[in-house]
Amino acid sequence: MVVDDSVVVRGLIGRWIDEEPEIAVVASHRNGRLAVEDVERSDPDVVILDIEMPEMDGLTALPKMLAKKPGLIVIIASTLTRRNAEISIRALSLGAQDYLAKPETNSGVTTSVEFRQELLRKVKHLGAARRRRA
């Protein structure tokens, strides 16, 4: 599941994931409220979650998603993780498994090979670990 208020980022990450044969996007949402409402129905192994979003931010949505689906793997992908270590630590304390700093701009996300590779590596690794435990 990809949760980000930027349609560009959601689409780009979705395409990257869909290009990988062993993983797939089961849902994509523009805010935390929609993700919380859908997490049981879409049943993702991994959620890529932004922090700053309208209606419900990632830090508010994170514990609500975990309450509905214990064992869910959540990777925080946000520009805030680069600027604010305190928010990253809070997300980890709320149950996120990992975090990744997004480039500061949508064009930076589009052109960053390093961000793409690291995100896909984390999704594959953490998703596989969750499936082994299940």
Classify residue 132: in a domain, yes or no: no
Q: How far apart are CA 129 and CA 8, in angstroms?
A: 29
Classify residue 131: in a domain, yes or no: no
Which CATH number goes with the domain that contains 23?
3.40.50.2300
In the chain, the number of structural domains is 1
**Which residues span the domain enclosing 65?**
2-125
- The token pair that represents 133 in the structure block: 């435990």
pTM recorded for the entire structure: 0.90
Q: What is the pLDDT along the chain (134 residues), one digit of tens a residue?
A: 999 999 999 999 999 999 999 999 999 999 999 999 999 999 999 999 999 899 999 999 999 999 999 999 999 998 765 556 788 888 999 999 999 988 776 666 766 788 899 999 999 999 988 777 76
